[in-house]
Amino acid sequence: MENKMYFGSRKTARAFTVIKPGTGKVRINNFLLESIQNDQQRSIISTPLQLLGDDRYKVDIAVKVKGGGTSGQAYASAISISKALVSYFKSDELKKRLLDYDRHLLVGDKRQKESKKPGGPGARRKEQKSYR
C-alpha cells in the first residue's frame, strides 16, 4: 500500500499525517507521542487512537504540524490522524464511532479569530468616553 498524506486544520494550525503498517508508533514532528509534556494535548491527540482500539498497534503514524498555538496544533493533529485512520482501515464503524464521539474529529471546525477593528484594542471592544 502506498503512503498517502492526510490533512487537518484548526484555526491557523495545519497538520499533515502519513500512515503506514507498523507497530503502533505515533510521532508528532519527529517526537514520540508519549514524550509530549502537556497531558491535555497528549490526550487530545490520542483520542482517535483510543477510539480505534487494538488496531492502533498495526500502524505507524507520522504527523508534521505547524502554525497556530499548541492547542490548535493538537486539534489539527487529531483531525488529520482521524482522517488517516478512517481511510486506512476503510471502516464505517470507526467513522461512526468518531462522529458520535466528536463530529469535529472528521469534519473540522472552521471558526477563526475575529480580526481587530480600528478604534479599540480588539475586535469588539472600543475605547471608553468620559463624557455622556
pLDDT at 92: 93
pLDDT at 57: 94
User: Is pLDDT above 60 for 1?
Assistant: no
Bridge partner list, 16:
7, 64
Q: If you average pLDDT over residues 57-72, what whole number do you get?
A: 95
Of 58, 112, 52, nearest to 83 by C-alpha is 52
Yes or no: say if 59 and 19 are a contact pair by the CB < 8 Å rule. yes
Mean pLDDT is lowest, of 41-45, 98-102, 105-109, for 105-109
